[in-house]
Amino acid sequence: TTEIYTLSLHDALPISLATTSYQSTSIPTSQTFLPDYVQLPPPNDLHSIKAMADGPMIGLAGEKDVCLSERFGPHAWPTEYRLVVDYPHVGIGVFGHSAVIYTLAYPYLVTGTDPLGMTMTRIRVKQSCVSKRSIADAGFGSFCATPDGLMLIGDEGVQIVTEGLMTRRDWQ
């Protein structure tokens, strides 16, 4: 396994610009061990990345994986923070301490402030997101186009905001 250490600034030794390498003969006493998982890079197929409140980033990988980064560490995406949805994902909407994972069947709500303690709940409204480009975030919720109309998922719950304004047939 790889062991990664961080050194205090007062341990740094000046190296002249002409020096091409340096090998320490002693181990600094103020080093701190960092676990391997902290520095895992994002998956190669990570997309739809958005920032959440309190610092973590959220993104999608593969067909059903939801990935979270360390808080304020967009370079580190531990596998321990991954969540999996039941249906292929389309995109992400973010509001407050929540993220909506839009899929081809049901939306999912991911909530929390610590990436390790995030909870994911399937929303009981079977509405697929018809286009990633239709996802729009607002401070109070997230919008997405569905087969039945424009859906809003937010603090007040789920609603089709175009209901009563146009029929499903007119919407399509």
Going residue by residue through the chain, which has 172 residues, state the pLDDT in tens, using 9 for 90 and above: 455 555 444 445 554 445 455 565 555 555 555 554 456 889 999 999 999 998 999 999 999 999 999 999 899 999 999 999 999 999 999 999 999 999 999 999 999 989 999 999 999 999 999 999 999 999 899 999 999 999 999 989 999 999 999 999 999 8
What single-letter amino acid sits at 54?
D
Spatial separation of the C-alpha atoms in residues 40 and 70, rounded to whole Å: 10
Model pTM score? 0.77
The 3-state DSSP class for residue 30 equals coil
Would you say 89 and 66 are in contact if contact means Cβ atoms under 8 Å apart?
yes
